[in-house]
Amino acid sequence: MRRFRTDLTYADVTPKEVFLNRRALLRGAAAMGAATILPLPAAARDFAGGETPNTLEDIKAYNNFYEFGTGKDDPAKYAGQMTIDPWSVKVDGLVDRPGTYDLADLIDEAEVEERIYRFRCVEAWSMVIPWNGIELSKILNKFSPQPGAKYVAFETLERPSEMPGLARSNIDWPYREGLRMDEAMHPLTLMGTGIYGEPMPKQNGAPIRLVVPWKYGFKSIKSIVRISFTDTQPPATWNMLQPREYGFYSNVNPTVDHPRWSQATERRIGDGLFAKRRPTLMFNGYEEEVASLYAGMDLTKFI
Ligand SMILES: Nc1nc2c(c(=O)[nH]1)N[C@H]1C(S)=C(S)[C@@H](COP(=O)(O)O)O[C@H]1N2
Ligand SMILES: [Mo]
Protein backbone atom coordinates (compact mmCIF):
# COMPACT_ATOMS: atom_id res chain seq x y z
CA MET A 1 0.00 0.00 0.00
CA ARG A 2 1.40 3.38 -1.01
CA ARG A 3 -0.77 5.62 1.05
CA PHE A 4 1.31 8.74 0.49
CA ARG A 5 2.00 8.51 -3.23
CA THR A 6 0.77 11.68 -4.85
CA ASP A 7 2.09 11.79 -8.38
CA LEU A 8 4.03 9.57 -10.76
CA THR A 9 7.55 10.30 -11.87
CA TYR A 10 9.99 8.63 -14.23
CA ALA A 11 11.22 6.17 -11.60
CA ASP A 12 7.68 5.04 -10.78
CA VAL A 13 7.15 3.67 -14.25
CA THR A 14 10.69 2.32 -14.70
CA PRO A 15 11.89 -0.89 -13.11
CA LYS A 16 14.66 -0.28 -10.58
CA GLU A 17 17.40 -2.01 -12.61
CA VAL A 18 16.59 -0.08 -15.77
CA PHE A 19 16.52 3.11 -13.74
CA LEU A 20 19.94 2.51 -12.20
CA ASN A 21 21.52 1.18 -15.40
CA ARG A 22 20.26 4.15 -17.31
CA ARG A 23 21.86 6.45 -14.79
CA ALA A 24 25.16 4.59 -15.05
CA LEU A 25 24.91 4.71 -18.83
CA LEU A 26 24.22 8.43 -18.89
CA ARG A 27 27.01 9.09 -16.43
CA GLY A 28 29.36 7.09 -18.66
CA ALA A 29 28.24 9.03 -21.70
CA ALA A 30 28.82 12.31 -19.90
CA ALA A 31 32.31 11.19 -18.88
CA MET A 32 33.14 10.46 -22.54
CA GLY A 33 32.08 13.95 -23.48
CA ALA A 34 28.97 12.83 -25.33
CA ALA A 35 25.93 15.03 -25.02
CA THR A 36 23.23 13.59 -22.80
CA ILE A 37 19.88 14.01 -24.43
CA LEU A 38 17.61 13.13 -21.56
CA PRO A 39 17.69 14.76 -18.15
CA LEU A 40 19.41 12.59 -15.56
CA PRO A 41 16.90 11.52 -12.94
CA ALA A 42 18.23 11.64 -9.40
CA ALA A 43 21.77 12.47 -10.56
CA ALA A 44 24.55 12.36 -7.99
CA ARG A 45 25.03 15.68 -6.27
CA ASP A 46 28.41 16.46 -4.82
CA PHE A 47 28.35 18.01 -1.36
CA ALA A 48 31.99 17.14 -0.63
CA GLY A 49 33.80 19.81 -2.61
CA GLY A 50 34.88 17.45 -5.36
CA GLU A 51 36.86 15.18 -3.02
CA THR A 52 37.28 11.63 -4.24
CA PRO A 53 34.81 9.28 -2.56
CA ASN A 54 36.16 6.32 -0.62
CA THR A 55 35.89 2.93 -2.28
CA LEU A 56 32.87 0.77 -1.56
CA GLU A 57 35.32 -1.78 -0.13
CA ASP A 58 36.60 0.70 2.48
CA ILE A 59 33.10 1.93 3.28
CA LYS A 60 31.98 -1.66 3.93
CA ALA A 61 35.08 -2.84 5.78
CA TYR A 62 35.72 -0.15 8.43
CA ASN A 63 32.60 0.41 10.51
CA ASN A 64 31.13 1.20 13.89
CA PHE A 65 28.02 -0.85 14.63
CA TYR A 66 28.32 -1.95 18.24
CA GLU A 67 25.37 -4.33 18.01
CA PHE A 68 27.82 -6.58 16.16
CA GLY A 69 30.88 -5.88 18.31
CA THR A 70 33.26 -3.03 19.02
CA GLY A 71 35.95 -3.95 16.48
CA LYS A 72 36.01 -2.01 13.21
CA ASP A 73 35.78 -5.30 11.28
CA ASP A 74 33.05 -6.87 13.46
CA PRO A 75 30.14 -5.33 11.50
CA ALA A 76 31.52 -6.68 8.21
CA LYS A 77 31.96 -10.10 9.83
CA TYR A 78 28.65 -10.42 11.67
CA ALA A 79 26.03 -8.03 10.25
CA GLY A 80 25.25 -10.50 7.47
CA GLN A 81 23.18 -12.43 10.04
CA MET A 82 20.72 -9.56 10.43
CA THR A 83 17.33 -10.23 8.85
CA ILE A 84 16.12 -7.09 7.08
CA ASP A 85 13.10 -8.45 5.24
CA PRO A 86 10.39 -7.97 6.41
CA TRP A 87 11.16 -4.58 7.98
CA SER A 88 8.76 -2.21 9.64
CA VAL A 89 9.10 1.05 11.54
CA LYS A 90 6.96 2.06 14.49
CA VAL A 91 5.99 5.74 14.48
CA ASP A 92 4.64 7.24 17.70
CA GLY A 93 4.49 10.29 19.93
CA LEU A 94 3.30 13.76 18.92
CA VAL A 95 2.16 12.89 15.44
CA ASP A 96 -1.20 12.72 13.66
CA ARG A 97 -0.48 9.47 11.83
CA PRO A 98 1.14 7.08 14.26
CA GLY A 99 1.39 3.43 13.31
CA THR A 100 3.61 0.61 12.19
CA TYR A 101 4.72 1.16 8.62
CA ASP A 102 6.20 -1.37 6.22
CA LEU A 103 9.46 -0.22 4.68
CA ALA A 104 7.85 -0.11 1.23
CA ASP A 105 5.29 2.40 2.52
CA LEU A 106 8.01 4.64 3.95
CA ILE A 107 10.50 4.61 1.10
CA ASP A 108 9.33 5.93 -2.23
CA GLU A 109 12.01 4.89 -4.75
CA ALA A 110 11.17 7.92 -6.85
CA GLU A 111 12.34 10.19 -4.06
CA VAL A 112 15.75 8.53 -3.64
CA GLU A 113 18.69 10.79 -4.52
CA GLU A 114 22.42 10.25 -4.62
CA ARG A 115 24.50 12.69 -2.59
CA ILE A 116 28.21 12.67 -1.89
CA TYR A 117 28.86 13.79 1.70
CA ARG A 118 31.87 14.09 3.96
CA PHE A 119 31.35 11.80 6.95
CA ARG A 120 33.40 12.26 10.12
CA CYS A 121 33.51 9.95 13.08
CA VAL A 122 34.09 11.34 16.58
CA GLU A 123 37.19 9.14 16.76
CA ALA A 124 38.72 11.53 14.19
CA TRP A 125 38.64 9.37 11.09
CA SER A 126 36.64 10.38 8.07
CA MET A 127 35.40 9.18 4.72
CA VAL A 128 33.67 10.62 1.67
CA ILE A 129 30.57 8.55 0.92
CA PRO A 130 28.17 8.58 -2.04
CA TRP A 131 24.93 7.99 -0.18
CA ASN A 132 21.56 7.17 -1.63
CA GLY A 133 18.72 8.47 0.42
CA ILE A 134 15.62 10.57 0.81
CA GLU A 135 15.52 13.91 2.58
CA LEU A 136 14.35 12.99 6.06
CA SER A 137 11.83 15.85 6.04
CA LYS A 138 9.98 14.19 3.17
CA ILE A 139 9.52 11.06 5.25
CA LEU A 140 8.69 12.79 8.53
CA ASN A 141 6.12 15.08 6.92
CA LYS A 142 4.12 12.04 5.80
CA PHE A 143 3.35 11.35 9.46
CA SER A 144 2.04 14.91 10.06
CA PRO A 145 4.07 15.83 13.14
CA GLN A 146 2.09 17.96 15.61
CA PRO A 147 3.15 21.54 16.41
CA GLY A 148 4.18 20.39 19.89
CA ALA A 149 6.85 18.07 18.45
CA LYS A 150 10.21 19.71 19.19
CA TYR A 151 12.47 16.65 18.77
CA VAL A 152 12.48 13.40 16.88
CA ALA A 153 13.95 10.23 18.38
CA PHE A 154 15.16 7.09 16.63
CA GLU A 155 15.80 3.52 17.76
CA THR A 156 17.78 0.70 16.18
CA LEU A 157 16.69 -2.91 15.90
CA GLU A 158 17.48 -4.89 19.07
CA ARG A 159 17.61 -8.58 18.18
CA PRO A 160 19.99 -10.58 20.40
CA SER A 161 19.74 -13.75 18.27
CA GLU A 162 21.33 -11.91 15.34
CA MET A 163 23.45 -9.31 17.13
CA PRO A 164 26.38 -10.77 19.08
CA GLY A 165 27.42 -7.33 20.36
CA LEU A 166 24.28 -6.83 22.43
CA ALA A 167 25.48 -9.30 25.07
CA ARG A 168 28.96 -7.83 25.33
CA SER A 169 28.57 -4.19 26.16
CA ASN A 170 27.42 -1.79 28.86
CA ILE A 171 25.26 0.13 26.42
CA ASP A 172 21.60 0.39 27.39
CA TRP A 173 20.10 -1.09 24.22
CA PRO A 174 18.45 -0.34 21.87
CA TYR A 175 20.83 2.20 20.33
CA ARG A 176 19.03 5.54 20.46
CA GLU A 177 19.59 8.92 18.88
CA GLY A 178 17.68 12.15 18.47
CA LEU A 179 17.62 15.43 16.62
CA ARG A 180 15.95 18.74 17.25
CA MET A 181 13.05 19.09 14.84
CA ASP A 182 14.75 21.84 12.78
CA GLU A 183 17.87 19.66 12.43
CA ALA A 184 15.76 16.71 11.34
CA MET A 185 13.91 18.84 8.80
CA HIS A 186 17.08 20.42 7.39
CA PRO A 187 17.48 19.63 3.67
CA LEU A 188 20.96 18.11 4.23
CA THR A 189 19.58 15.45 6.59
CA LEU A 190 18.96 12.17 4.81
CA MET A 191 17.34 8.88 5.55
CA GLY A 192 19.99 6.74 3.89
CA THR A 193 18.83 3.82 1.75
CA GLY A 194 22.04 2.80 -0.02
CA ILE A 195 25.63 3.51 -1.03
CA TYR A 196 27.03 3.73 -4.58
CA GLY A 197 23.60 2.82 -5.98
CA GLU A 198 23.50 -0.45 -4.04
CA PRO A 199 20.97 -1.15 -1.29
CA MET A 200 22.41 -0.18 2.09
CA PRO A 201 25.03 -2.78 3.11
CA LYS A 202 24.03 -4.42 6.39
CA GLN A 203 27.19 -3.26 8.17
CA ASN A 204 26.33 0.33 7.17
CA GLY A 205 22.83 0.14 8.66
CA ALA A 206 20.47 -1.67 6.29
CA PRO A 207 17.80 -1.12 5.32
CA ILE A 208 17.51 2.52 6.47
CA ARG A 209 19.82 4.70 8.58
CA LEU A 210 20.22 8.36 9.32
CA VAL A 211 22.85 10.49 7.56
CA VAL A 212 23.53 13.84 9.26
CA PRO A 213 26.69 15.13 7.57
CA TRP A 214 27.55 18.04 9.90
CA LYS A 215 27.48 15.92 13.06
CA TYR A 216 29.87 13.28 14.37
CA GLY A 217 29.13 9.85 12.94
CA PHE A 218 27.43 8.39 16.01
CA LYS A 219 24.40 10.63 15.48
CA SER A 220 23.75 8.78 12.20
CA ILE A 221 21.87 5.86 13.75
CA LYS A 222 21.62 2.63 11.79
CA SER A 223 18.91 0.06 11.05
CA ILE A 224 16.03 2.20 12.34
CA VAL A 225 12.86 0.51 13.65
CA ARG A 226 11.24 3.35 15.59
CA ILE A 227 10.68 7.07 15.07
CA SER A 228 9.13 9.05 17.95
CA PHE A 229 8.13 12.70 18.07
CA THR A 230 8.65 14.33 21.48
CA ASP A 231 8.45 17.69 23.20
CA THR A 232 11.56 17.08 25.32
CA GLN A 233 15.13 16.21 24.36
CA PRO A 234 15.21 12.44 23.89
CA PRO A 235 17.91 10.15 25.32
CA ALA A 236 20.85 9.44 23.03
CA THR A 237 23.12 6.42 23.49
CA TRP A 238 26.58 8.01 23.74
CA ASN A 239 25.26 11.03 25.58
CA MET A 240 23.71 8.72 28.22
CA LEU A 241 26.94 6.74 28.52
CA GLN A 242 29.45 9.63 28.68
CA PRO A 243 27.65 13.00 28.82
CA ARG A 244 30.90 14.89 29.37
CA GLU A 245 32.41 13.45 26.20
CA TYR A 246 29.40 13.25 23.92
CA GLY A 247 26.84 16.04 23.90
CA PHE A 248 23.35 15.83 22.46
CA TYR A 249 24.24 18.12 19.56
CA SER A 250 27.63 16.65 18.62
CA ASN A 251 28.19 19.04 15.76
CA VAL A 252 31.60 18.58 14.16
CA ASN A 253 33.69 21.34 15.73
CA PRO A 254 37.48 21.46 15.31
CA THR A 255 37.77 24.15 18.02
CA VAL A 256 36.30 22.01 20.80
CA ASP A 257 38.41 19.00 21.74
CA HIS A 258 37.02 15.71 22.90
CA PRO A 259 38.20 15.41 26.55
CA ARG A 260 40.63 12.66 25.50
CA TRP A 261 41.79 13.81 22.06
CA SER A 262 41.89 16.74 19.64
CA GLN A 263 39.17 17.21 17.05
CA ALA A 264 41.24 19.69 14.99
CA THR A 265 42.38 17.21 12.35
CA GLU A 266 41.21 13.94 10.88
CA ARG A 267 42.58 10.83 9.23
CA ARG A 268 40.89 10.02 5.95
CA ILE A 269 40.35 6.28 5.61
CA GLY A 270 42.22 5.11 2.53
CA ASP A 271 44.94 7.78 2.75
CA GLY A 272 47.51 5.37 4.14
CA LEU A 273 49.16 5.21 7.52
CA PHE A 274 51.78 7.90 6.90
CA ALA A 275 49.60 10.38 5.05
CA LYS A 276 49.21 13.86 6.46
CA ARG A 277 46.10 14.36 8.59
CA ARG A 278 43.56 16.77 7.15
CA PRO A 279 42.24 19.83 8.97
CA THR A 280 38.68 19.30 10.17
CA LEU A 281 36.20 21.92 9.01
CA MET A 282 33.62 23.66 11.20
CA PHE A 283 30.32 21.77 10.93
CA ASN A 284 32.33 19.34 8.78
CA GLY A 285 32.33 21.89 5.97
CA TYR A 286 28.58 22.53 6.04
CA GLU A 287 28.81 25.76 8.05
CA GLU A 288 27.15 27.92 5.42
CA GLU A 289 24.15 25.61 5.34
CA VAL A 290 23.66 24.85 9.04
CA ALA A 291 25.30 27.52 11.24
CA SER A 292 22.02 29.46 11.48
CA LEU A 293 20.43 26.51 13.31
CA TYR A 294 22.70 27.29 16.26
CA ALA A 295 22.69 31.09 16.21
CA GLY A 296 23.09 32.42 19.74
CA MET A 297 24.08 29.05 21.21
CA ASP A 298 27.43 28.71 23.00
CA LEU A 299 28.95 25.81 21.07
CA THR A 300 31.57 25.22 23.76
CA LYS A 301 28.68 24.47 26.12
CA PHE A 302 26.20 22.81 23.79
CA ILE A 303 28.63 20.20 22.50
N1 LIG B 1 22.71 1.38 15.74
C2 LIG B 1 23.93 1.90 15.65
N3 LIG B 1 24.11 2.98 14.85
C4 LIG B 1 25.36 3.53 14.74
C5 LIG B 1 26.44 3.01 15.47
C6 LIG B 1 26.21 1.88 16.30
O7 LIG B 1 27.11 1.35 16.97
N8 LIG B 1 24.95 1.35 16.35
N9 LIG B 1 27.69 3.62 15.38
C10 LIG B 1 27.71 5.02 14.98
C11 LIG B 1 29.05 5.52 14.72
S12 LIG B 1 30.04 5.78 16.08
C13 LIG B 1 29.49 5.84 13.46
S14 LIG B 1 30.98 6.60 13.20
C15 LIG B 1 28.67 5.50 12.28
C16 LIG B 1 29.47 4.63 11.32
O17 LIG B 1 28.78 4.48 10.11
P18 LIG B 1 29.42 3.63 8.93
O19 LIG B 1 29.81 2.30 9.50
O20 LIG B 1 28.35 3.50 7.88
O21 LIG B 1 30.60 4.37 8.41
O22 LIG B 1 27.48 4.81 12.61
C23 LIG B 1 26.81 5.28 13.76
N24 LIG B 1 25.53 4.60 13.91
MO1 LIG C 1 31.73 7.25 15.34
> Is 63 a pocket residue for ligand 1 (Cβ < 6 Å)?
yes
Q: Is the CB of 154 under 6 A from ligand 1?
A: no
Cα–Cα distance, 13 to 19 (Å, whole number): 9
CA of 280 to the centre of ligand 2 (A): 15
Using the mean position of ligand 1's atoms as its centre, give its distance from the Cα of residue 218 in Å: 5
Q: Is the pLDDT of residue 6 over 80?
A: no
Each domain of the chain, given as residue ranges in start order, spans: 48-294
DSSP β-ladder status, 99-102 and 265-268:
unpaired
**pLDDT greater than 60 at residue 131:** yes
Q: How far is 189 from 192, CA to CA, in rounded Å?
A: 9
Closest ligand 1 atom, CA of 127?
21
Distance CA 214, CA 112 (A): 20
Q: How many CB atoms lie within 10 A of CB 302?
A: 12
| Cα–Cα distance, 69 to 81 (Å, whole number) | 13
More confident residue, 18 or 235: 235
Q: Which CATH class is domain 48-294?
A: alpha beta
Q: If you average pLDDT over residues 56-84, what whole number do you get? A: 98
Whose CA is closest to atom 16 on ligand 1? 64
pLDDT tier at 43 (50, 70, 90 boundaries)? low
- Specify whether the CB–CB gap between 130 and 115 falls below 8 A: yes
CB-based contacts of 282: which residues, under 8 Å, 6+ apart?
252, 253, 254, 255, 291
Confidence at 11, pLDDT banded by 50, 70, 90 = very low
pLDDT band at 194 (very low <50, low <70, confident <90, very high): very high
- Check residue 20 and give its pLDDT: 44
98 contacts: CB under 8 Å, gap ≥ 6 = 91, 92, 143
CA dihedral 53, 57, 59, 65 (to 10 degrees): 180
Classify strands 88-93 and 224-230 as parallel, antiparallel or unpaired.
parallel
Measured distance CA(287)–CA(301) in Å, rounded: 18
Q: Is residue 175 in contact with ligand 1, taking CB distance under 6 Å?
A: yes
Element (H, E) at 163: none
Question: Mean pLDDT, to the nearest integer, of 22-45?
Answer: 46
Residue 22's pLDDT is 40
pLDDT band at 260; cut points 50, 70, 90: very high
Q: What is the Cα Rg of the chain in Å?
A: 19
Ligand number with the minimum distance to the CA of 258: 2
Residue nearest (by alpha carbon) to ligand 1 atom 23:
218
Cα 17 to ligand 1 centre (Å): 29
Backbone angles phi and psi of 228, in degrees to 5: -125, 140
| Structure confidence by residue, pLDDT tens digits, 137-151 | 999 999 999 999 999
pLDDT, tens digit (0-9, with 9 covering 90-100), for 73-126:
999 999 999 999 999 999 999 999 999 999 999 999 999 999 999 999 999 999
278 compared with 169, residue with greater pLDDT: 278
Q: Give the model's pLDDT for residue 273.
A: 83
Which whole number is the average pLDDT over 33-39?
Answer: 37
Q: For residue 18, what pLDDT is reported?
A: 38
Question: Ligand 1: does its nearest atom lie under 6 Å from the Cβ of 54?
Answer: no
Q: CA 139 → CA 91, 210, 271, distances in Å?
A: 11, 12, 36
Beta strands in the chain (DSSP E): 44-46, 88-93, 99-102, 113-120, 125-135, 151-156, 176-180, 190-195, 198-199, 209-211, 224-230, 265-268, 278-279
Report the sign of the C-alpha dihedral through residues 68, 72, 77, 82, in that order: positive
Within 10 angstroms of residue 194's Cβ, the number of other Cβ atoms is 20
Separation in Å, CA 121 to CA 4, 146, 217: 35, 33, 4
Give the pLDDT score at 170.
87
Helix (H, G, I), strand (E, B) or coil at 111: helix
